Structure 1
Amino acid sequence: MQITRQRPGTAQGAAENFTGTVWLDEIAAPAAPSRLRMFNVHFAPGAHTAWHRHPHGQVLHVLEGEGLVQRRGAPVEAIRAGDTVWIEPGEWHWHGAGPRTFMTHLAVVEAAEDGTTADWDAHVAPEDYPA
């Protein structure tokens, strides 16, 4: 057993992967052989990810606020505090805050053998993000 009391500082989401202001806190990144990664992600109103996918899928659990999630080719769906979203391995998607609300979620992924947790694509077109 290991108890972690100190973590890396909060990091701002990279502009190439996020639209708007996003803050990430790494919650878990245990040593090998584990490939689990968990982040607490806080989105300002209107902030969201670019299109991306995860090699082993992703679990999102919304802690506070209201947000949006969309998989490629499907309609945008609202998510709110208490909702849990399972995103299939390799499924292109984006997620983030609603246009007028903050949203915080836990994001849990399993890294690929090479350490990759996500493949990133283009930003969501402004006309495709519901205002």
Structure 2
Amino acid sequence: MPRLGAMLTVVRGGSGGRSEVATGTFTGQAWRDLLMAPKDGVAVGNVFFEPCSRTHWHSHVGGQLLIIVAGEGYVGEEAQTVTVRAGDMVWTPPGVRHWHGASNDRYLLHTAVTVGDTAWEQAVTEAEYGGGH
């Protein structure tokens, strides 16, 4: 029988280090806090997007759960872009190409639970960002 301590990992609040500017795969100004470094293929982090900022197009090998903590933003995929607000959750299945970010005039704070590696692509154009909402 396995020991209980061998099965659990406790991640203490406030142990993630400093916030860092999200660069390279973002348009506009965004900040991120790593809450749990990748462990067993899962990573957890908070991302704060200033108005109009957003990720580039990307997909995740095992999918991604976004928990909208505060503000308002958009999550887009090939067929549609939806508005999300505090309290909403969005599941993106494995391999689905998508992006997410703040609305035009509000910030967005979300917690991202990412499964597996992320495949980053090109920036979301102004037309793609502005369409569908």
- Give the TM-score normalised by the residue count of structure 1: 0.87
Aligned equivalent of 1:37: 43
- Give the TM-score normalised by the residue count of structure 2: 0.85
In 2, the alpha carbon distance for the partners of 1:3 and 1:68 equals 29
Q: Which of these residues, 6, 18, 22, is aligned with residue 15 of structure 2?
A: 6
Decide which structure has the larger Cα Rg and report it: 2
Aligned equivalent of 1:91: 96
**SS of 1:109's equivalent?**
strand
**C-alpha contact (below 8 Å) 2:46/2:111 kept by paired residues:** yes
**C-alpha contact (below 8 Å) 1:22/1:47 kept by paired residues:** yes
For 1:24, the aligned partner's letter is: R
For 2:124, the aligned partner's letter is: V
In the TM superposition, 1:17-28 aligns within 5 A as: 17-28=25-36
What are structure 1's unaligned runs of at least 5 residues? 112-116
Aligned equivalent of 1:114: none
In the TM superposition, 1:1-131 aligns within 5 A as: 1=8, 2-4=10-12, 5-14=14-23, 16-29=24-37, 31=39, 34-72=40-78, 74-111=79-116, 117-130=117-130
**C-alpha contact (below 8 Å) 1:29/1:35 kept by paired residues:** no
Using the aligned pairs only, state the percent identity: 34
What are structure 2's unaligned runs of at least 5 residues? 1-7
**C-alpha contact (below 8 Å) 1:65/1:102 kept by paired residues:** yes
Give aligned pairs, total. Answer: 122
Aligned-pair CA distance for 1:8? 2.4
